Chain A
Amino acid sequence: MNIELSRRAFLQTAGAGLAGTTLGAFGFGDIEAAHAAAIRPFKLANTTETRNTCPYCSVACGVILYSKGDLRKGEQAEITHIEGDTDHPTNRGTLCPKGSALLGFVKAPTRLQQPMIRKPGSDKFEPISWEDALDRVARLMKDDRDQNFVATNNDGVTVNRWLTTGFLAASATTNETAFETYKVVRSTGMLVFDNQARV
């Protein structure tokens, strides 16, 4: 068994690059069926893996989400652990203090659960249904657009712009969200449109 652990084996696997270390080859004699009292049962056993990338900085490290339940089987999936993806060329399984604690972001106590509305002058948020919230947003947008849309400028040039409502895109949404957002926002003629690139 020690042969497997020789430096040579190590270099071979090193050559294989992402193949991993000889750790996988720790042939500790006969395999014990029962867990040693001291040793916790391996908590990722029988979980579902999903490949993802870290949403924080733009190194975009590969991560693996471990969940109870499998979305692809149409099940409810509860993420129970997140760890670096060793197959990823950039991070090779490593993660920074933020990435290592990603589970805490997914499960943050301050994750938003339902749409809320704060009425003018009020000192609190009140729940509102998605339907009502979205209808309200569309209505507010349309009313403002209809009132303030500029079709032509003083020189009579067609400018078709809308300057009284702005949109701030984020920085961690997907390219797909970004392009769809671009379509929806630009089609209204909105010019006050920016993202987080600067800060």
Chain B
Amino acid sequence: MAAYDVGPSEKVHPGKPVVVDRYTVGARINHWITAASLILLALSGLALFHPSLFFLSGLFGGGQFTRFIHPWIGVLLFFSFFGLFLRFWKANLWKREDGTWLARFRDVLANHEENVPEVGKYNAGQKFVFWAMSILIIVLISSGLVIWEQYFSAYTTLGQQRVALLVHAVAAVAIIGVWIIHFYSAIWVRGTIPAMIRGSVTGGWAWRHHRKWLRELVTMRSKEGSGSKPAE
């Protein structure tokens, strides 16, 4: 069968336990830059969003600097996420099993993954996060530019700017929500965070959460190594 969502660098290393490469160094750095800027944006954005959170601007050396830096971090996030997008969009294309997976979401929440179909490198939940982020970031960057007083206020009408403000605020709330899901899942599903730190997971983790993906890796490996027999 076609290795539709297997990256070239992903490999299985037999042993106890089996080790599976999941993320390259580049992917990990890229991810963490994105993560960091998203968090900084959330903090600075919230500071300007709600008075009760204005104190957060202290983290950035005051309101003036917060106002100044927020849009620039936004630009950074945009490009850095674009990197992730190029890396992962294929693996996040929708699959038949994703539907079933979603249908049995209760079992997922209840930690009964045995009842859900085997999934590839990403399950429907992860795919949701991926696409939600992609769309929201587009929305945020475009509405953000419109309300970037210092450089772009001259190019739009006050009416447009007011719309942009509202859109930007709503989208920001949404993306933080999505981030919360992403972040919680990473904690809840143990072994996930190390994956993004070390780059590899144990065979068991792959077997439990992304069995289809594991099988493909193994199949590919055997194809490469056909003929060679393990020492008896």
The answer to whether any beta carbons of A and B sit under 8 Å apart in the complex is no
